[in-house]
Structures are given as structure tokens and as C-alpha cells.
Structure 1
Amino acid sequence: MIRLLALLVLVIPGFLAGLGIKLMRDMLFGILQPPFPFLWLQFLVGLVLFVGGLGFVAGFIFYRDRKNNKVQNRFKDK
């Protein structure tokens, strides 16, 4: 049950990061998605989703590795 919850915690931000990439790609090709009135706004929302999702997944993995002592000495708690 715990592993399933951890998987969901990683899948949802990963999905949001993928959606962010899609929004930025669509802006590059000039495809405006329905909830956005401007292409630049679509790109900014996509960028925020991508950076936020990627940062959350990276932070989760870093926290887990730090807890299991699998990081370099400079990243260990003091």
C-alpha cells in the first residue's frame, strides 16, 4: 500500500511535467489550446508545470537517496 502511494506521488507530477512539455511544444508550432487566450501564456503555464513537476520528482528521489545514505558526502545531513 505504501509503495502504491509513493508511485502515485511520483506519477501525478510526472504527468503534469509531460503536460507542460506538450503545452510548450504546441506553442512552438503555433497551436493554441482552448483554456489559454494567448500563446505566450500557454508557454509560461507549460514552463511552470514542467519545472514544478520535474523539481518535485527530483526532490523526492534526492530525499529518498539521502535517507538511505546513497548520496555523496557533500549532500549528507550535517
Structure 2
Amino acid sequence: MTGTVVIGLDIGVRGNVLHPVVISGPASLQRAALDAIREYKYRPYTLNGKPVQVETTVSVPFTLNDACP
């Protein structure tokens, strides 16, 4: 199965992923995308030198590797 799952989320002041929610993508890949995105750690965004929470979207692509061992 291949495809891209788009997830909406907030990035907290410490760079943690907060409140991830699937926006679009194949249903069979959504759980894996959410599990993966929860492991992400971002550099916090700053405004006037202070970390701030921001809302963003992330695309998680899935591709099938045709190489067989």
C-alpha cells in the first residue's frame, strides 16, 4: 500500500507534537502515520526570542520498496 497521510497538529513550546489529527489519506495508513508522528520532535518555533505553540500540517508519505531480499 502506498499513499500520503496528511496530519494536522500543534507543535508545543518544547517541540512536542500535540493533538495530531488525520486530515486526509488512505484509511489503512492513518494509524501508522499517527504512531510515527507522535515520535517526532521539533525545534520549537520562536517569536521575539520566546518559544511559542504553532499549528501546522505534516505529510507522511508511504512507499512500497520493490526490492526483495
Structure 2 length as normaliser, TM-score?
0.30
The structure that is helix-richer by fraction is 1
Q: Which has the larger radius of gyration?
A: 1
Indicate the structure with greater strand content: 2
